[in-house]
């Protein structure tokens, strides 16, 4: 009996240990620094970018084939800030060269961020998890059953049902009270009305990222190299047609490495470097608008005018609502999906560093923040986009340090625009793949986007005035005197008077626009890639990530980007097995 008990306890302990290792993801035997990579190696698939799409794609393809996954950043498991919800804003505020978040400023003047870490945007975002709508799936010709299966594969690892605190619950009731109905409860699905969506943060506030999906990998089938900076894709020719053959990349010490495709008609290089990285690397490799590449002396592989075109970012506008009652710390949990094409969401709480103690707490008190709406993260809506200079940010941070604690108690209610329909372009700034390209999104250049924003702001006003939300808003939304301590209070405090002039609301939208980090485009389906994500005019090269999107899916793209990695990995495997089994050549 004692032996049985001891054996049972041992096995239980081993199961717990295994589960703990899986959750942490730190025991990936196939993950190494690029300095350890061979100078030359061969693979069936080479995936550039270990991000939101790249990780599930690599894990899936490794089930049957030899896969190389190249990630320019480090491991999320080595940075406690990435995995802790309380430090979400700290990552976005870190502008050092080693940060998991790389800041960029669009030509519109809006400060934004792109990921530089295994797991991609799922490591630095606000965590909301929701599927794309049925219409989106149909428009792209995806198989609905396979899409659901791919979503579930992802959700089993990274998605959770959040527990609503009082502020988020009041926001939900307020949306229903003003007519954003029906009440859809908790669901991953994209449905008109009000719902509680999923989160990649678990009940303990721990983030689960796309990197966690690498647990599905066949260890002998995959190599993951970190801090592997891809310089360019190498091509050969089949007649006059370019064929992708390999990748040149550099490690953290500047060493050069070559990875080539094994012989085989169906082996491929797949770009999953994101909406900025994928079009940028295509251009640096000689695929893009010929006149633009000529400016930088890049040898032309294929004149592809669509590369870098169709860039979009979902504009976000938010209103800070000071609260007479304490509020919980929360990121996006509730969403109102309106019929006029605006999504209403919220986040509450401030002083995200306040969970520290001792000397750390004393230091944090001098760096107060509003989390995802903080000047430290670049979300400074108190001045128009072009005026958000480093000096303006520094003034806002200083102003925040002078504001009484009571003024920082509250939450933000935001709206973001469906689509959007406004588009811009991406272009090279220089020949450095680590540097940011230039990008413009042309926020609100399309009148429908502006109309939807104004309607969304008016909806927020109605939520604030609702009976359900009254506990967390001052009567008539009249701000207490403490709010007006400084003229440069670093949060947007729009004075609601009722019956707002639509033209004033539209100007408000233009002046206070921020990003919600949902930028996409640059390698769009039908423009740069076909419906199977093959680059038009080139063999053995695909792009599988958010750069292929013509519109942002659902209310948040990350679930769909992860799903797409799994979905296309399964599809590629099935098609290859059928073709090779029947002797069919592509």
Give pLDDT tens digits for 248-287: 999 999 999 999 999 988 999 999 999 999 999 999 999 9
DSSP strand E in 253-314: where? 256-261, 268-271, 287-288, 302-303, 309-311
Residues in contact with 322: Cβ distance below 8 Å, sequence separation at least 6, in sequence order:
406, 407, 409, 410, 474, 479, 480, 483, 493
* pLDDT tens profile 280-322: 999 999 999 999 999 999 999 999 999 999 999 999 999 988 8
What are the structural domains, with CATH classification, of the chain?
A: 33-76+117-159+202-308+523-581 (3.50.50.60), 163-196+313-353+366-423+443-521 (3.30.410.40)
Cis peptide before 214 (omega within 30 of 0): no
Mean of all residue pLDDT scores within the chain: 89
198 Cβ neighbours under 8 A, 6+ residues apart: 128, 129, 130, 155, 159, 160, 161, 162, 186, 188, 559
Residues known to be catalytic: 518
Give the span between the Cα atoms of 343 and 321, in whole angstroms.
Answer: 18
Average pLDDT (54-73) is 98
* Helix/strand/coil percentages in the chain, nearest 5: 40, 25, 40
Could you tell me which of 452, 462, 557 has the C-alpha nearest to residue 500?
A: 462
Q: Any idea which residue has 């399309």 for tokens?
A: 446
pLDDT at 484 > cutoff 60: no
Give the span between the Cα atoms of 13 and 26, in whole angstroms. Answer: 18
pLDDT at 375: 86
- DSSP one-letter string for 79-141: -HHHHBGGGHHHHHH--STT-SEEEEE-TTS-EEEEE-BTTGGGGTS--EE-PPPHHHHHHTT
- How far is it, in rounded angstroms, from Cα 30 to Cα 219? 6
Instruction: Give residue 236's Cα distance to chain centre.
Output: 34
Q: What would the pLDDT profile of 64-79 be if each residue is shown by its tens digit?
A: 999 999 999 999 999 9
For 416, other C-beta atoms within 10 Å of its C-beta total 27
Task: Spell out where 188-314 has E strands.
Answer: 193-196, 198-199, 222-226, 229-238, 241-250, 256-261, 268-271, 287-288, 302-303, 309-311
Backbone angles phi, psi at 28, to 5 degrees: -70, 105
100: its two tokens: 């998991």
Q: Are 190 and 135 a contacting pair, CB within 8 Å?
A: no
* CA pair distance 328, 85, nearest whole angstrom: 13
**What confidence tens digit (pLDDT) does each residue in 207-245 have?**
999 999 999 999 999 999 999 999 999 999 999 999 999
Q: What does the block give as tokens for 352?
A: 């995200």
> Does the pLDDT at position 23 exceed 60?
no
| Structure confidence at residue 76 (pLDDT) | 97
Angle between helix 447-464 and helix 166-177 axes, rounded to 10 deg = 110
CB 103 within 8 A of CB 111: yes
* CA–CA separation, 397 and 379 (whole Å): 11
Segment 376-410, tens digit of pLDDT: 888 888 889 999 999 998 888 888 877 777 777 89
Binding-site residues from annotation for FAD: 117, 230, 517-518, 546, 557-558
**Which pLDDT band, with edges at 50, 70 and 90, does 6 fall under?**
very low
What is the Cα–Cα distance from 193 to 239, expressed in whole angstroms? 55
């Amino acid at each position: 009996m004692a032996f049985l008990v001891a054996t049972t306890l041992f096995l239980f302990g081993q199961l717990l240990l295994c589960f703990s290792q899986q959750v942490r993801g730190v025991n990936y035997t196939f993950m190494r620094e690029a300095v350890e990579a061979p100078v030359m190696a061969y693979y069936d698939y080479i995936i550039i970018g270990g991000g939101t799409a790249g990780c599930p794609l690599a894990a899936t393809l490794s089930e049957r084939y030899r896969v190389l996954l190249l990630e320019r950043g480090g491991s999320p498991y080595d940075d406690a800030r990435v995995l802790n919800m309380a430090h979400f804003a700290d990552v976005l505020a870190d502008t050092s060269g080693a940060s998991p978040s790389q800041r960029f400023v669009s030509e519109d003047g809006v400060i934004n961020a792109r990921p530089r870490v295994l797991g991609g945007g799922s490591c630095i975002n606000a965590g909301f998890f929701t599927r794309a709508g049925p219409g989106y799936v149909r428009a792209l010709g995806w198989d609905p059953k396979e899409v659901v299966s791919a979503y579930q594969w992802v959700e089993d690892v990274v998605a959770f049902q959040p527990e609503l605190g009082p502020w988020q619950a009041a926001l939900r009731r307020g949306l229903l009270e003003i007519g954003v109905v029906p009440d859809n409860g908790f669901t991953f699905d994209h449905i008109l009305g009000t719902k509680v969506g999923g989160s990649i943060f678990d009940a303990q506030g721990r983030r689960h990222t796309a990197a966690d999906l690498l647990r599905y990998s066949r260890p002998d089938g995959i190599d993951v190299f970190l801090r592997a900076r891809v310089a360019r894709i190498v091509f050969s020719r089949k007649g006059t047609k370019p064929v992708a053959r390999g990748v040149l990349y550099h490690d953290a010490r500047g060493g050069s490495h070559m990875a080539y495709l094994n012989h085989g008609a169906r082996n491929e290089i797949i770009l999953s470097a994101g909406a900025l990285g994928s079009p940028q690397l295509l251009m640096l490799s000689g695929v893009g608008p010929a006149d633009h590449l000529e400016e930088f002396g890049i040898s032309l592989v294929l004149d592809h005018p669509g590369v870098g075109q169709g860039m979009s970012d979902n504009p976000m506008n938010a209103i800070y609502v000071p609260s007479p009652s304490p509020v919980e710390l929360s990121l996006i949990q509730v969403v109102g999906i309106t019929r006029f094409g605006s999504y209403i969401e919220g986040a509450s709480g401030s002083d995200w560093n306040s969970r520290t103690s001792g000397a750390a707490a004393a230091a944090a008190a001098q760096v107060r923040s509003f989390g995802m709406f903080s000047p430290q993260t670049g979300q400074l809506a108190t001045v128009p986009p072009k005026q958000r200079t480093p000096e303006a940010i520094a003034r806002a941070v200083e102003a925040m340090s002078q504001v009484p604690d009571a003024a920082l108690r509250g939450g933000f209610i935001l709206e973001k625009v469906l689509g959007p329909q406004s588009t811009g372009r991406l272009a090279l700034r220089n020949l450095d793949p680590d540097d940011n390209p230039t990008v413009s999104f042309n926020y609100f250049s399309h009148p429908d986007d502006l109309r939807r924003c104004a309607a969304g702001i008016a909806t927020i006003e109605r939520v604030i005035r609702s009976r359900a939300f009254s506990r967390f808003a001052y009567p008539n939304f009249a701000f207490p005197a403490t709010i007006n301590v400084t003229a440069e209070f670093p949060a947007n405090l729009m004075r609601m008077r009722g019956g707002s002039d639509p033209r004033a609301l539209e100007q408000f939208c233009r002046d206070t626009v921020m990003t919600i980090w949902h930028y996409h485009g640059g390698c769009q389906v039908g423009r740069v890639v076909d419906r199977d994500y093959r680059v038009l005019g080139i063999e053995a090269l695909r792009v599988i990530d958010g750069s292929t999107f013509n519109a942002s899916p659902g209310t948040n793209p990350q679930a769909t980007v992860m799903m797409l990695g799994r979905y296309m990995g399964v599809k590629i495997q099935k098609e290859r097995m059928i073709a090779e089994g029947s002797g069919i050549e592509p």
